[in-house]
Amino acid sequence: MAEADDLKSREERKRERMWNPRRRWQAVQQAITWAEQQPAVRRNTRACAMALQRRHRAADRH
């Protein structure tokens, strides 16, 4: 299994060297945009906003 771990890190290092930096940057930006659209990732939902508002109001009362 150590061989498999070594292969993974060698493959990743090789890809890093071969990946055009501009394309890599674009890929990271697009990955963030895509991730934000997924239901599990959304932080700015109505439910989240209401929960945050409740916490702020509770804090203001004390």
Residue 47 binds other proteins (CB under 8 A)? no
CA 33 – CA 45 distance, rounded (Å): 16
Site track for other proteins across 27-46, x = CB under 8 A:
xx-xx--xx-xxxxx-x---
Among 4, 47, 58, 59, binds other proteins (CB under 8 A): 4
Residue 52 CB, nearest approach to other proteins (Å)? 17
22/62 with CB nearer other proteins:
22
Distances (CA, A) of 17 to 13, 22, 48, 51: 6, 13, 41, 45
Q: Are 41 and 35 in contact (CB under 8 A)?
A: yes
